[in-house]
Amino acid sequence: MTAIDRLNELLEAERAGVETLSRLFPEARGAEMQTLFEGVRDDEAWSCAGLVRSIKTMGGAVSEKKGDFAEKVMREPTLAARLELLNRGQGWVVKRLDALVAEGLPAPVIDFLEEMKTRHLANIEACDRLAKSLGAR
């Protein structure tokens, strides 16, 4: 699998992340939760745009696909369980970002991927706190 393939894999996952957060938004129990879901969704959309730029910077073709993560998340019975699965997905992305950063990609791409990782880690922490407050395992 090439670096372009892995960037496209992340793009497809991030598109699914945008859909997931858009579907979770109506379940928000108050303004604070709405703000969190909106912020995570916006970070996922920011990541999509940056991944498209990165793929184009590297001369690759941009995938039009989207992962099926939203359907998996929404099958979970509780909001806490949905947040736990969302966080596992965010963690999956972080691991792939680490592998890509180690590959010697162009500096602007590395800079973007490092910022994307920072945002994902912050979102994992915030969603973990919320899941625990809702009675997650």
In angstroms, what CA-CA distances link 52 with 5, 70, 88? 12, 21, 23
Distance between CA 82 and CA 101 in Å, rounded?
A: 29
Distance between CA 4 and CA 109 in Å, rounded?
A: 11
- Asked if pLDDT for residue 10 goes beyond 90, the answer is yes
Per-residue pLDDT reduced to its tens digit, 82-124: 999 999 999 999 999 999 999 889 999 999 999 999 999 999 9
pTM: 0.94
Q: Are 108 and 57 in contact (CB under 8 A)?
A: yes
Quick one: tokens of 123?
A: 């979102």
Whole-angstrom distance between the N-terminal and C-terminal Cα of the chain? Answer: 35
- Domains along the sequence of the chain with CATH: 3-133 (1.20.1260.10)
Please provide the average confidence, as pLDDT, over all residues in the chain. Answer: 95
For position 34, what pLDDT does the model report?
Answer: 95
Distance between CA 74 and CA 114 in Å, rounded?
A: 29
Sequence-distant (6+) residues with CB within 8 A of 126 are 36, 39, 40
Residues 120, 95, 82, 16, CA torsion sign: positive
